[in-house]
Amino acid sequence: MHRRALLASLGSSLLVGIAGCQSNPGGTSSPTDNATRTNSPETETTQQPPSTGTPTGDAYTVPGAKRILGSAQAKLRNDSDEATTLTLAVEYEGDRFFEESFDLKAGDEISTDSLVASHATYDVVVETSDGGRVTYEWSIPERWHWPQLAILVADDGSLQIGCGLPRSREIPVENTDETSRDVTLTLADGNKTVVETTQTIQPGSGHLSFDGPIGGEYEMQIETDEGSDTATYLSCYCRNTEARVQIDDGKPTLETLQLTCE
């Protein structure tokens, strides 16, 4: 089993490091034949190493950067009703060291091998066969191991990129009052609300359940008629926020614990 170590305490927001990955952080799937690295030099062709990084095995290494302990792979999922082709490209400071196309039927989920081996910030471009295009800055800070690049074709056909695939989540709620309370949970990305749900919490222990968005950093707000509380909420693969709510005299208090695989 992995050991959890308390790293810091910042008010109600805490930071915890985990030596290894969290259990069931969004499921696993095996790589498929068309999701492997194909950057080997061709016969009788000399491949010049890139100026800012060197492909080492199946993972790209940035000189001078700290190594990632675990796998840093991409996961691609198609939640739409239509088959699609996605082209994934990854660059570091202008060096495009990975580019590959993937055919996904409706409901497919596939994984690549580990793409990068160094803590750094990479530029990602995903294009669809019908002309769609999305860019993303894949930042992998130190002390974050087992990162994931998540690419999703949502059920509405939109193309999304993040640091973890969406999954269902629950937040424990302790209602100390003797009456039920209507509690609204929202997740916002800047000025855009990506999750909003209102649920009735009976006296005692309960929970708020919601469908998590594509992995990223969001602002979470918990609101009742008597007040509200907010906190930063992370929903990445192996870098997540564990949240808990307590309601006293109708007013909610939101406490968070940040969990990171390290």
For residue range 10-43, list pLDDT tens digits in order.
Answer: 333 333 444 443 333 333 333 332 333 323 333 3
DSSP bridge partners of 168? 211
Residue 245 CA neighbour count, 13 Å, CB half:
31
CA separation, residue 210 to residues 62, 79, 167 (Å): 38, 17, 9
Q: What is the pLDDT of residue 12?
A: 37
Cβ neighbours of residue 63 closer than 8 Å, sequence gap 6 or more? 52, 53, 54
Q: Is the pLDDT of residue 51 over 50?
A: no
Residue 74 Ramachandran class (φ > 0 left, ψ -120 to 50 alpha, else beta) = beta
For residues 78-95, give the mean pLDDT: 96
pTM of the model: 0.77
Do 167-260 and 74-162 fall under one CATH topology? yes
Query: Model confidence over 205-250: pLDDT tens digits?
Result: 999 999 999 999 999 999 999 999 999 999 999 999 999 999 999 9
The label of the residue with tokens 């649920």 reads 199
**What are the residue ranges spanned by the domains of the chain?**
74-162, 167-260
**CATH classification (class only), 74-162:** mainly beta
Q: How confident is the model at residue 262 (pLDDT cuts 50, 70, 90)?
A: confident
Range 167-260 classified under CATH 3.30.70: no
| Mean pLDDT score of the chain | 82
What is the token pair recorded at 10?
């910042």
Q: Is the pLDDT of residue 50 over 60?
A: no
Q: Is the pLDDT of residue 105 over 80?
A: yes
